[in-house]
Amino acid sequence: MSSWEFSWTDVCPSGLRPWVKDYNDLAPCFQEICLQLPMLVLFAVLSSYYYGSHFRLVFRNGVQRRSIRVRIAASIALGLIPVLKIFYVLRVHGKIYPIDVLLSCVQFVAWTVHVGFLTSSLKCGSLSHRGPLAIIVLWTSLLALTGIWVHTNINSDYWLWYVADLVIFISYGSTLIAPGNAHYIRPQRTADEERQALLSHTYTRFLEDIDESALGPIQDDANFFSKIVFYWVRPLIAKGVAGKLRKNDDLFDLPDCLNMNQVVEKLQHQLDAVGSLFKALHRSFGWEFYLIGLLRLLADLSGFAGPVLLGGLLRSENFNGNGTEPQMVNDCDNCNAIDFRPYYYALGLLLTTLVSCFAGVHFNWRMTLVSTKMRMSLVTAIYRKSLVAKGLQSARPEILNLMSTDTDRIVNSCISFHSFWSIPFQLFTTLYLLYTQLGLAFLAGVTFAVILIPINRKIAMKIGQLSQGLMTAKDGRIAITTETISGAKHIKMNAWEDVFIGKIEQVRREEVGYLSRRKYLDALCVYFWATTPVLMCVLTFGTSVLLGSTLTAATTYTSVALLNMLIGPLNAFPWVLNGLAEAWVSLKRVQELIDDWIISGQ
């Protein structure tokens, strides 16, 4: 058996020799490996560094803004052309060297990072739109290397691609000629920038100490792209890095959707109309709340596409589509047509991952907004009811619990509600995909999961009962503690300290008892459900082998990916049931007190 030996000619045809005597020119591989790659990497690193160091706001005139936008378009083109050329070469000639693929990927990454740097230069950076001197020097070096590359490959089949690169480089450079005008945005003084001294002398900060202008409403003025990638957060991060987040006014203003007066009055109006807190929440936030579920559904569907596309990628036979290993031949006229299915599968994996990522992140963000609205409305409604109700002194401990613990549980149930329908959907879809991969062998895992459902339900119900007892004991402890603090003078005068301490400790022991039993059940849920995917994997694959099925690479990797997708839903499902049970208990507690206050008020 002959041993494999590495050779640079396998990576690039001309190896690492720097000079080609026949053409009296630099060798193409030497240009790519030793000149272009290091320069592009350094160009990407410096662009990333200066992109992160742009903090000072700049106002640019039309000339500078147009010049930067032209450079952004040129950079996008310079990043896409190498990638398009790779696909063109594969489709036409069917053969490409690894160095060409590596160089195209590095070019795409470098120019993508540079696009980010140029985008930030529109509003931040130095007064000159040309950018830092180091960036200009590197760009000039890349221009020279592009000219040399065009000279070397002017007679190749791809000369038009290289000339297009050079033309775009020249267009990029033409934008560096016009100087334009710009000035730094002066910070604005606000009323709280002035400090009143002890001797009635006013102290005002120096200009350097004053923060930049207000950030404005959160995301209201952002464009669609900025909202998708959360680019609108960058000014806040820049302020934080500069150490200028000293007070609440330095943060974003609340958006219109979180206007407290509108949100609170909306729930209060519905509460006065129907009397039921659940119906009032449904009428106030239901439309927005249910539409957010579409993002969760999109994220789930994109997640299922990953294992399916992975199986397709592994099942695609090879790059030439004839069932044999791809051969590296020098005569491209005899090359078979390239099978592009693996590339399509890989591209599909990338796109579905991006869609799943964006959908999941925006689902969490939108749920945070809805949860904030519900929290503001609930706390305000409870506070208003407590002001107009009779018996305020005796209900004070319950009010504190309602405004903190119970409100938190009701708000946290928003995500639990969507998880309540999403997790079964994920489980059934995953099990169906497992059936398509393993056949009836998947029933072993399904049977094991079905057995766990009533056990999980029993544990969740027990946790709900313990939560109810915990809240009752907590209310009693707070009531006794409040009574003790209010009558501390009388207790001290009558030497009743031991009596009240004993009562508080007794109620506290009862509360800790409920809490400890609940935490033990929580730990049991975590342990029990964390081991479930492993046991399902063992049972499923073992049954498949016993039934005589053949486990191929595509089937195995796809099934493992699907089984791994069960870990999250199986671990989260008991917590979801627990969260919904606790939220229902808290909702009834709030409703009971609201009903009592309404009756007392009448």
Question: Model confidence over 363-400: pLDDT tens digits?
Answer: 998 998 888 888 888 888 888 877 776 555 555 667 77
Q: 570 vs 488, which has greater pLDDT?
A: 488
Q: Is the pTM value of this prediction over 0.85?
A: no
Confidence at 579, pLDDT banded by 50, 70, 90: confident
pLDDT digits (tens, 9 = 90+) for 493-548: 888 888 888 888 888 888 888 888 888 888 887 777 777 777 877 888 888 888 88
pLDDT digits (tens, 9 = 90+) for 320-336: 444 444 443 334 444 44
- Given the structure tokens 């969760």, which residue do they identify? 296
Angle between helix 341-388 and 260-274 (nearest 10):
70
The CA distances from residue 97 to 11, 91, 163, 341, 416, in Å, are 6, 14, 21, 20, 51
Distance CA 129, CA 175 (A): 9
Higher pLDDT, 214 or 426: 426
Residue 189 pLDDT class (50, 70, 90 cuts)? very low
Instruction: State the DSSP code for 383.
Output: H
- The values of phi and psi at residue 523, to 5°, are -65, -35
If you average pLDDT over every residue of the chain, what do you get?
78
Beta bridge partners of 195: 203
CB 280 within 8 A of CB 274: yes
For the cut 50, the answer to whether the pLDDT of residue 282 exceeds it is yes
Average pLDDT over residues 424-443: 84
